[in-house]
Amino acid sequence: QVQLQESGPGLVKPSQTLSLTCTVSGASISTPGYYWSWIRQPPGRGLEYIGYIYYTGSTNVNPSLKSRVTMSVDTSKSQFSLNMSSVTAADTAVYYCGRDVWDSWNFDLWGRGALVTVSS
């Protein structure tokens, strides 16, 4: 079955860039109709949508994070990535990658999540 797995550093210093990668297995990341997404959840708090990338490279980012977020996709490795610059303690969260279904706009698959702590 299709699985998603986040990977990346668990600790990032303030003002630096957070980088995470999501590896998709069991299906092609180039399948039309799916947007590959990032969602985060600060400890003890609710979910926040970060954005998505399509296999063509087109992106959509939450306006509140747009100035700090870039995303990329590597179809040959079946991976997509998130970069968030100028991080602060407020960016400490579990970061999930997920699959967003076009024309239904729901996240039908999620990775297990990766905790990223921003601290010096």
Residue 23 CB, nearest distance to another protein (Å)? Answer: 15
Which residue type does 78 have? S
Going by their DSSP bridges, the two strands 11-12 and 114-118 should be labelled as parallel
Residues 92 and 117 sit within 8 Å (Cβ to Cβ): yes
Q: Which two tokens stand for residue 30?
A: 């180039």
* The only residue of 3, 64, 85, 86 in contact with another protein, by rule CB under 8 A: 64
- Segment 44 to 63, residues that bind another protein, using CB under 8 A: 46-49, 51, 60, 62-63
Which residues contact another protein by CB under 8 A?
A: 39, 46-49, 51, 60, 62-64, 96, 100-101, 104-108, 110-113
